[in-house]
Amino acid sequence: MRKADATGGPASWRGGPVAANDAYVRAAIRDLGADGTVDPAAATALWEDVIRLPQWDGDPVLLHGDLLPGNLLTEAGRLTPVIDFGGLGVGDPAADTLAAWAVFTAGPRDLFREAAGADDATWARGRGWALCFGLMAEHYYRETNPVLAAVGHRAVKEALAC
């Protein structure tokens, strides 16, 4: 998808600046920190680092926008189809690297980064997307969709562990 000309394409709902989610992320940190679900000091420190990162200023890039475990199907340990292209659009390629923290542990995460060709700034913004997605998913879905909340919890845990 990265090789396709994305000029003039529609924006992905997850492809803009991660910092645009600041108010909701801070509310999630407050609430999840209050009940002991996350370490609010660690989550806030990482989030502060994330919102100070330089933003994407490259050519338009086509994104899947929702590379989460439920959308990555496997057979015999190999990725087969990727489904749910509802977030397809143009944006910061870091949004698609959030899968590195939502899906993988440290060793495989490094292989994912190499395969994705993510530079340091994109990788750091991707970690920010993982924190953002994870906090928001766990905060919003912990009562109504515990499976997605668990994916969010894992993304936060992995993002904070780096």
Cα–Cα distances (Å) from 47 to 23, 55, 63, 67, 159, in that order, read 11, 14, 23, 21, 10
Task: Specify if 2 maps to a domain.
Answer: no
Q: How far apart are CA 4 and CA 131, in angstroms?
A: 28
Q: What's the domain count of the chain?
A: 1
Given a cut of 90, whether residue 161 has pLDDT beyond it is: yes
Q: What confidence tens digit (pLDDT) does each residue in 112-155 have?
A: 999 999 999 999 999 999 999 999 999 999 999 999 999 999 99
Q: Report if residue 87 sits inside a domain.
A: yes
Give domain status of residue 95, yes or no: yes
| Percent share of the chain, pLDDT over 70 | 100
51 to 34, 54, 81, 151: CA distances (angstroms): 22, 8, 33, 23
What's the pLDDT at 140?
98
Task: Please say if the pLDDT value at position 4 is more than 90.
Answer: no
The enclosing domain of 60 has a CATH number of: 3.90.1200.10
Range of the domain at 61: 19-161
The two beta strands, 61-63 and 89-91, are: antiparallel
**Residue 10: inside a domain:** no
C-alpha to C-alpha distance for 77 and 158, rounded to whole angstroms: 21
So what's the pLDDT on residue 109?
Answer: 96
Q: Which pLDDT tens digit goes with each residue over 90-122?
A: 999 999 999 999 999 999 999 999 999 999 999
Please say if the pLDDT value at position 162 is more than 90: no
Write down the pLDDT at residue 1.
78
Distance CA 71, CA 119 (A): 25
pLDDT at 15: 87
Average pLDDT of span 7-13: 92
Residue 6 in any domain: the answer is no
- Could you read off the pLDDT of 60-93 as tens digits, one per residue? 899 999 999 999 999 998 999 999 998 999 999 9
The answer to whether residue 2 scores a pLDDT higher than 90 is no
What is the distance between the alpha carbons of residues 20 and 9, in angstroms, rounded to a whole number? 20
